[in-house]
């Protein structure tokens, strides 16, 4: 069974980017486990409530102005099928070099980085003269993750919730993707604690470890230390040629969870 397991140092950023407000308890739990991953020499001062961070000061007790924040670096890619292409930009990608330089046959898989955004984004599409009509649909899938003493694991080849296809509006050569809400992020089939524990064991070849022990504490798929989030967003491109032939192409966005 395929799963993802990610290093401890990255877990804070991932849940800030991926887990929405409905997952705040899971986020707090992971945030607490990340406190030891701060860079050496970094300190944070708070007032008596332990909440408000004080401004940094130099040895003369003068407030040090914050450095201007730079905009995230985006990588622009061209997703190419025969007679159709879509231009998109993301903050982080993990695909092999040259993957987006070629024309793909029927499916393109985009391996997103931690801070990449898909929901509610606008992308440019282009077809050639052989295409009479184009339609694009979107759906999503969720997966279950388990927090343990170490990386978070995501069961990518176990059960999933699969959303219905939604048609996207195309105007002036652009489309905007569906923006998902908290309820979408939490959709998952009904499963028992025993089923979760067995799925985690299967992922590790039947062995018991920190994740199986954590899974035994889950009251269900959304009970800490388990959780659910969107792990994949799919675009289905339906191309109708001037000859009347219709074909389907798929763009799959793999969304990281927990790292």
Which pLDDT score is estimated for 62?
A: 57
pLDDT tens-place string over residues 19-43:
333 343 443 344 344 333 333 332 2
If you search the block for the tokens 């995501």, which residue do you land on? Answer: 154
If you search the block for the tokens 């987006």, which residue do you land on? Answer: 100
Q: How confident is the model at residue 57 (pLDDT cuts 50, 70, 90)?
A: low
Handedness of CA 50, 52, 53, 54 (dihedral sign): negative
pLDDT tens-place string over residues 64-102:
566 555 556 888 999 999 999 999 988 878 899 899 999
CB count within 10 Å of CB 54 equals: 10
- State how far the Cα of 118 lies from the Cα of 180, in Å rounded to an integer: 10
> Which residues sit opposite 166 in a β-bridge?
138
Q: Is the per-residue pLDDT at 45 higher than 80?
A: no
178 and 166 in contact (C-beta within 8 Å)? yes
Which pLDDT score is estimated for 59?
A: 58
Q: Which residue has the higher pLDDT, 253 or 68?
A: 253
Which pLDDT score is estimated for 246?
A: 98
Q: How confident is the model at residue 115 (pLDDT cuts 50, 70, 90)?
A: low
Q: Tell me if residue 257 falls in helix, strand or coil.
A: coil
Which pLDDT score is estimated for 208?
A: 85
Q: Is the per-residue pLDDT at 51 higher than 60?
A: no
pTM higher than 0.75, yes or no?
A: no
pLDDT tens-place string over residues 189-244:
999 999 999 999 999 898 888 899 999 999 999 999 999 999 999 999 999 999 99
> Which residues sit opposite 109 in a β-bridge?
252
Please state the rounded mean pLDDT for residues 101-127: 90
Q: How confident is the model at residue 257 (pLDDT cuts 50, 70, 90)?
A: confident
78 and 52 in contact (C-beta within 8 Å)? no
If you search the block for the tokens 């409530």, which residue do you land on? Answer: 49
pLDDT tens-place string over residues 143-179:
999 998 778 899 999 999 999 999 999 999 999 999 9
8 and 33 in contact (C-beta within 8 Å)? yes
Q: Which residue has the higher pLDDT, 173 or 12?
A: 173
Buried b (16+ CB within 10 A) or exposed e, 194-218: ebbbbbbbebeeeeebebbebbeeb
> Which residues sit opposite 124 in a β-bridge?
87, 174
235 and 178 in contact (C-beta within 8 Å)? no
- State how far the Cα of 36 lies from the Cα of 241, in Å rounded to an integer: 57
Buried b (16+ CB within 10 A) or exposed e, 98-125: eebeeebeeebebbbebebebbeeebeb
């Amino acid at each position: 069974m395929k799963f993802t397991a990610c290093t401890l140092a990255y877990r804070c950023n991932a849940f800030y980017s991926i887990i929405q407000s409905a997952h705040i308890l899971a986020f707090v739990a992971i945030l607490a486990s990340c406190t030891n991953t701060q860079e050496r020499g970094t300190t944070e001062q708070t007032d008596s409530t332990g909440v408000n961070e004080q401004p940094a000061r130099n040895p003369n007790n003068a407030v040090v102005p914050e450095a201007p924040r730079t905009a995230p670096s985006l990588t622009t890619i061209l997703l190419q099928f025969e007679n159709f292409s879509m231009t998109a930009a993301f903050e982080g990608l993990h695909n092999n070099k040259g993957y987006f330089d070629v024309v793909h046959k029927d499916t393109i898989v985009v391996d997103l980085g931690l801070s990449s955004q898909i929901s509610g984004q606008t992308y440019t599409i282009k077809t050639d003269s052989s295409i009479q009509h184009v339609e694009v649909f979107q759906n999503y899938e969720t997966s279950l993750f388990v927090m343990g003493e170490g990386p978070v694991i995501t069961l990518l080849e176990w059960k999933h919730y699969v959303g219905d296809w939604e048609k996207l509006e195309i105007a002036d050569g652009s489309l905007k993707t569906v923006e998902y809400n908290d309820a979408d992020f939490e959709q998952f089939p009904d499963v028992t604690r025993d089923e979760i524990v067995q799925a985690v064991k299967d992922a590790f070849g039947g062995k018991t470890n920190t994740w199986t022990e954590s899974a035994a504490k889950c009251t269900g798929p959304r009970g800490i230390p388990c959780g659910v989030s969107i792990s994949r967003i799919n675009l289905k491109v339906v191309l109708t040629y001037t000859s009347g032939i219709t074909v389907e192409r798929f763009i799959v966005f793999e969304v990281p969870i927990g790292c």
